[in-house]
Amino acid sequence: MISTLIPLFRTVIAVMVLYAIFQTLLGIFTRRMLARAKTKHHVTNVQLFARVARYGFFLILLLVATFTYSGSWLGFGLTAGLVSAALGWALQKPITGIAAWAMVVTKRPFEIGDRVIIGTVQGDVEDITLSHIQVAEFGGTIQGEEKSGRTILIPTSTLFDQNIINYTSKDDYVKDEVVVSVTYESNLDKALALCVGAAKKHCHGEQKPYTRCKFAGSSVDVYIRYNVLAKKRQEVSSAITKEVFDAFHRNRKTVEIAYPHTEVVFRKKR
């Protein structure tokens, strides 16, 4: 009995020591690389590399330790085959989750810090692990796209079955619009100029704000379109709405906001 436990004890100690040394070296390397990172993409790359290296080293160490203890490739192969078959049947979702995590690491549909919608969940990605994607929800308990304060964990095993929308895949900006209806009696050119001027006060991207308009039943609808930081969409649209309202109020003799109402006109009989 003792002769059997001694090799096992040595193997466990060797695994723990090697893993501790690896963790220390990986920690030093990760801290140095994060100190040099200049963008969120660089930070994400370092964090994901550290995780892949940690999981990969642990798996290799586990396999080598098992072979060392068994002392036979044949026995190790048979054991690994039986264990793999059992785990593959019993752990289908976790295995699917690992595959989805590998997809996230390699294909990069989103990264830490991105604003995403995954299925019916919307939020900012805070962490990516083997089992879950952690997001800080926006909306949810409130209307619009401001943070609700709730944290949602999305199982990675569900990623293959969900639509993934990434607001910030290419850059941090998205297209947004504010719509205002003006009366047919208004000076439309003046209204368009006021709308663009209001948007320019709150937008600072490379593409300048612009307008589009179309006829409605009892008004002309003006669409103010502009690029905005995805995470400030609600804040900026609110500011532009107030700016347009104030501008129209200052120029109410030439521009008027349309709204549902009824006018009664009395005419004197001749």
**What is residue 70's predicted lDDT score, i.e. its pLDDT?**
59
Q: Residue 41: pLDDT above 70?
A: no
Domain range annotation of the chain: 2-90, 115-166, 173-250
Task: Tell me how far CA of residue 176 lies from CA of 54, 124, 191, 239, 265, in angstroms.
Answer: 41, 18, 19, 13, 40
- The token duo for 237 is 């649209």
Quote the percentage of the chain above a pLDDT of 90.
40
- With bands split at pLDDT 50, 70 and 90, how would you rate the model's confidence at 212? very high
**For 144-201, what is each residue's pLDDT tens digit?**
888 999 999 999 888 988 899 999 888 889 999 999 999 999 999 999 999 999 999 9
Q: Residue 64: pLDDT above 60?
A: yes
Q: Once rounded to an integer, what is the mean pLDDT over residues 108-120?
A: 91
Model confidence, pTM: 0.65
CATH number for the domain whose boundaries are 173-250: 3.30.70.100
Mean pLDDT for all residues in the chain: 83
Nearest CA to 125 out of 114, 117, 137 is that of 114
